[in-house]
Amino acid sequence: MSRPLTLSLESARRLAVRCQHLAGPRPGGDLEGLRQVLRTLRCLQLDPVNVVARSHLLVLWSRVGGYDPADLDVLLWRERWLFEYWAHAASIVLAEDYPIHQVMMRGYAGGQTSHERIRDWLEANDVLRRHVLDRLREEGPLPGAAFDDVAAVPWKSSGWTNGRSVERMLDFLWFQGQVMVAGREGRRRLWDLTERRLPEWAATEPLPQEEAVARAAEHALRALGVARAADIERHFVRDRYPGLAEVLDRLQASGRVLPAEVAGGAERWYVHRDVLGLLERDGEPRTTLLSPFDNLICDRERTERLWGFAFRTEMYVPKDKRQYGHYIMPILHGDRLIGRLVPRLDRRRAVLEIEGVFPEPGTSGDEATAEAVGRAVAELAAFAGAREVVYGDKVPEPWRSAQTATARSGAPVPATAMGDVPAP
């Protein structure tokens, strides 16, 4: 077995950022540029929060800059190069990865889900299952509201799904791979049979479980740059890596994966052979803002280990107990996470309000850094459709002066102090 690579924290961070297309020349904002990013990330988490823009759109914006979100719809609904499925959460994934996602589909279809209550509920509601599939076969695509609730046993839950038997049946048929999301009307999903929606070129031959785990692990490592087994487990297809230790041993023996040590720690890390060249390449650093669910930082434990950045969302924290604000976007500057920014888009006035900027302890407040963040804010405003950026009173000097000056000297939108926006 090869000797482990030795990486400093700085090298590990740089590799992670470069693998995520967050350093170096930006991929183009056209269809091919989006494909390039998606082939690396392999999934975009879907989240309903839309304070500035939906998370999956922001993840792409952080990497390619301005682009037309309609192009993502082309890849999803027209070309069917992508589809929606459950990866580490509800996500957009690649149709070429269908055999990997079949591992979960087979588990649900074969009744192997660990939730006995789900198995019993599905067995009791076969009439509802056949009703949904028959309607889709005859009339699909259809929204969930189009189906009659003929459940013999209503779905019971202490949460928002209580009594929503049709929605739960659609979800379970989705998990089984029998139905797919065929389109959207706003947030409302349109459903159709998988046999009609999956592109003809997509591979459907089931993979042996070990091969599916190996493919998923390699995708995760190429996207993460450097990772431990636990990091891989939480990435891409979360908790679907049975026998991962043996798979990693096999990948090491073949030379596709190399062991690594990070900052002299005793933990075993891994690096994929395909990304080794990025360790030596000079990647032009960038400054950008990250969605709270960005692929770089969605694993909170790994984020704290590599960046020393303890990140938590505060959307569900009572207002008087929040440390920063409702919606927090981490600030990536080069290979460092240097702070948090709290934005809010006022769509009626077309104003991006920056309620606060919170630099990390020890972060330089030099003019160049503050101006770089200001440019990233202006780019975000332009992408979100804001005509103006407004800074609140929780922006420390010299950040406020530098960012305001940056926007006024040529960024896409002007900036003012909060409260100075003219009435609409």
Reported as a single tens digit per residue, the pLDDT across 340-352 is 999 999 999 999 9
108/172 Cα distance (integer angstroms): 8
pLDDT tens digit sequence for 212-250: 999 999 999 999 999 999 999 999 998 899 999 999 999
Q: Report how far apart, in Å, the C-alpha atoms of 324 and of each of 66, 295, 332, 392, 415 are.
A: 27, 22, 17, 13, 21
Say what the pLDDT of residue 384 is: 97
pLDDT in the model for residue 136: 98
Give me the domain span that covers residue 321.
312-417
Predicted pLDDT of residue 61: 98
- Cβ(102)–Cβ(207) under 8 Å? yes
Distance CA 89, CA 291 (A): 15
What residues in the chain have per-residue pLDDT under 70? 1-2, 110-114, 402-424
Is 377 part of a structural domain of the chain?
A: yes
CB-neighbour burial class of residue 342 (10 A; exposed 0-12, middle 13-18, buried 19+): buried
- Does the CA dihedral 373-379-382-385 come out positive or negative? negative
**Is residue 357 situated within a structural domain?**
yes
Residues contacting 424, CB < 8 A, separation 6+: 348, 349
Tell whether 222 is covered by a domain.
no
Q: What is the pLDDT of residue 412?
A: 55
CATH number at residue 391: 3.40.630
- 358: β partners: 340
- Structural domain includes residue 171: no
Q: How far apart are CA 299 and CA 317, in angstroms?
A: 20
Q: Write down the pLDDT at residue 265.
A: 81
Q: Is residue 270 part of a domain?
A: no
- Give the pLDDT confidence score for residue 330 in this predicted structure: 98
Establish if 388 belongs to a structural domain: yes
Number of structural domains, the chain? 1
What confidence score (pLDDT) does residue 113 get?
54
**Residue 395: inside a domain:** yes
182 backbone dihedrals φ, ψ, rounded to 5°: -100, -5
Query: Looking at residue 406, what is its pLDDT?
Result: 58
What is the predicted pLDDT for the residue at 119? 87
Across the chain, what does the average pLDDT equal?
91
Instruction: Examine residue 386 and state whether it is found in any structural domain, yes or no.
Output: yes
| CA torsion angle 244 246 249 254 (round to 10) | -100
